[in-house]
Amino acid sequence: MPRLDVDTVMSAIDQLLVGAMDEGQMQAAAETMRRLFNGSKACFAGFGPNPEDWASYTTNPDPALQERCFGELAPDFIEMGGALRDIPLGEIYHDHDVFGAEALRNSRVWQEWMRPQDMYGGMACRLAKNGPAFWFFDVQRGRRQEGFDAEDIALLEKLYPVLRRVVELRRHIGRVTIQRDEARSALDRIAMGIAILDPDMRITYANEGADEILSDPESALGLRQGRLFARLPADQRQLRQLIEGALRSAQDPLVPAQASMILHGEDGSHSLSACAMPAPPSVTQAHTSGKVLIALRRLEMAANLVACARQLFDLTDTEAKFASALASGSSLTEAAEAQGVRISTARTHLARIFQKTNTRQQSQLVSLLRSAALPLRPR
Q: Annotate 94-106 with DSSP letters as a single string.
A: EHHHHH-HHHHHH
pLDDT tens track for 327-342 = 777 888 988 998 888 9
Q: Which residue has the higher pLDDT, 229 or 314?
A: 229
**Residue 144 falls in which region: left (phi positive, over 0), alpha (psi -120 to 50) or beta:** alpha
The CATH number linked to 199 is: 3.30.450.20
Most confident of the following: 18-27, 197-206, 311-320, 327-336: 197-206
**Residue 270 falls in which region: left (phi positive, over 0), alpha (psi -120 to 50) or beta:** left
Domain check: are 340 and 242 in the same one?
no
- Helix runs in the chain, H state only: 6-21, 26-36, 63-69, 74-81, 95-99, 101-106, 108-109, 150-189, 208-215, 233-251, 305-313, 317-327, 332-339, 343-357, 362-370
Residue 130 has pLDDT above 80, yes or no: yes
Helix (H, G, I), strand (E, B) or coil at 3: coil
| Domain of 352, in residue numbers | 302-379
Domain check: are 315 and 292 in the same one?
no
Select from 257, 276, 300 the last residue of a domain.
300
Domain check: are 276 and 337 in the same one?
no
Domain check: are 306 and 369 in the same one?
yes
117-130 average pLDDT score: 91
Domain check: are 238 and 260 in the same one?
yes
pLDDT given at position 137 = 93
pLDDT given at position 148 = 92
pLDDT tens track for 181-206 = 666 676 666 667 888 898 899 988 88
pLDDT tens track for 252-287 = 766 665 577 888 877 666 778 788 888 766 533 443
In-domain check, residue 167: yes
In-domain check, residue 21: yes
Domain check: are 55 and 97 in the same one?
yes
Select from 162, 183, 204 the last residue of a domain.
183
Domain check: are 48 and 128 in the same one?
yes
In-domain check, residue 334: yes
Nearest residue to 263 (alpha-carbon basis) of 296, 227, 303, 301: 296
Domain check: are 30 and 138 in the same one?
yes
Q: Annotate 201-232 with DSSP letters as a single string.
A: -BEEEE-HHHHHHHH-TTSSEEEETTEEEESS
Adjacent-strand bridge partners of 133? 130
Distances (CA, A) of 78 to 82, 141, 239: 7, 23, 59
Domain check: are 294 and 317 in the same one?
no
Residue 92 has pLDDT above 90, yes or no: yes
Domain check: are 113 and 196 in the same one?
no
Other beta carbons less than 10 A from residue 163's beta carbon: 23
Adjacent-strand bridge partners of 190? 376
Domain check: are 168 and 286 in the same one?
no
Eight-class DSSP state of 283: G
The CATH number linked to 155 is: 3.30.450.80
In-domain check, residue 1: no
Contact present, 228 and 203 (Cβ < 8 Å): yes
The CATH number linked to 315 is: 1.10.10.10
Q: Count of domains in the chain?
A: 3
Contact present, 107 and 98 (Cβ < 8 Å): no
In-domain check, residue 248: yes
Prediction pTM value = 0.50
CA angle at 75 for the pair 70 and 78, rounded to the nearest 5°: 90
Residue 222 has pLDDT above 70, yes or no: yes
Domain check: are 40 and 125 in the same one?
yes
Select from 159, 183, 207 the last residue of a domain.
183
Contact present, 335 and 325 (Cβ < 8 Å): yes
Q: Which residues of 339-359 are buried (b: 16+ CB within 10 A; e: fewer)?
A: eeeeeeebeebbeebbebbeb
